[in-house]
Amino acid sequence: MMNEVNLLTVTAAVFAIMMSGSGQSRTNLLLYAMQTFFIALACLAQAEAKGSPELYTVVIGIIVIKVLTVPYFLSWLANKIEARSDPGAFLPIPLTMHVSILLFALSHFLALGLPLFKGIGSVASDATGAISLLLTGMLFMLTRRFALGQIIGFLTLENGIFLFAVTQTKGMPFIIEMGILLDVLVAVMIGGLFVFRIQKSFEHIDVTQLNGLKE
């Protein structure tokens, strides 16, 4: 029942879950990088199974941009604005992790019920991992107080969508995949700059206090 791809995507989802349990920005980023690395590996396995050479390029792109550049940049940013640990909002951070495990179980049930693409090397647990990443990313965005958390959560969410696309379709056109990758890079840069500017103007990046802006 278990095959290679299966294990890789589930590992990525587990890393995302572990990420949601830490309030330390650097731990979050490290675990994000690990998670993305495993997605890259899953993508590599897909490339082998489907025999599409463009996917290899995408894997290299992911590793260079999402595994190395983005976490490094964000970690630099976190140091710069001294947002090293997040106190959390709405839900205590340890509980976030347990909720995301329950969401993982939920996405397992969901994936079992979906009319999934029955292509080469695609199994239900790929969809499980992808949906779980998506939900964990959203939960992550929801439960962090600092804007940096929203960026990391968004990136995890994007990972989920990417994984879903790679494993559940016959493959997207190469140019779109690369385009999305670059979009993510640009989004992170812009998001990072915004966080930096917010920090400069308000002397904090606490998003729960943004509702003070409505007047």
Partner 1 sequence: MILTSANLVFIVTLTIMPFLLIGVIKKIKACFQNRVGPPVFQSLYNLVKLFNKDEILSKDCSWIFRSGPLISFSGMLLLCLSVPWLPLQPPVPGCDIFLFVYVLALIRFFSIISSIDAGSPFSSFAASREATLSFLAEPAFVLALVALGISAHSSDLALIFGQPIENNRIPLSVWFFSGLALFLSGIVELSRMPIDDPSTHLELTMVHEAMVIENSGPNLALVEWSYALKLLLFFGLIAQCFVYSLSKIIALPPLLLPLSVLVVMLALGCLTAMIESFSVKLSWGKNPDFIAYAVSMSLLSSLAAFAMNGGS
Helices 93-113 & 4-20 angle (0-180, nearest 10): 150
The count of chain residues that interact with partner 1, using the rule CB under 8 A, is: 16
Judged by beta carbon, residue 70 or residue 111, the one nearer partner 1 is 111
Within 10 angstroms of residue 169's Cβ, the number of other Cβ atoms is 11
Token pair recorded at residue 136: 């964990």
Single out the residue of 95, 120, 186, 190 in contact with partner 1 (rule: CB under 8 A).
95
Phi, psi of 85 (to 5 degrees): -135, 145
Residue 94 interacts with partner 1 (CB under 8 A)?
yes
Single out the residue of 9, 22, 75, 156 in contact with partner 1 (rule: CB under 8 A).
22
Distance of CA 206 to the CA centre of its chain: 21
Judged by beta carbon, residue 16 or residue 155, the one nearer partner 1 is 16
Residue 108 interacts with partner 1 (CB under 8 A)?
yes
Burial class (CB in 10 A: 0-12, 13-18, 19+), 24: middle
Distances (CA, A) of 150 to 112, 115, 172, 212: 30, 31, 27, 19
Residue 146 interacts with partner 1 (CB under 8 A)?
no
Residue 1 interacts with partner 1 (CB under 8 A)?
yes
Single out the residue of 21, 119, 121, 171 in contact with partner 1 (rule: CB under 8 A).
21
Of the candidate spans 20-28, 135-143, 180-188, 207-215, the one that interacts with partner 1 by CB under 8 A turns out to be: 20-28
Q: Give contact residues for partner 1 (rule: CB under 8 A).
A: 1, 14, 17-18, 21-23, 93-95, 97-98, 101, 104-105, 108
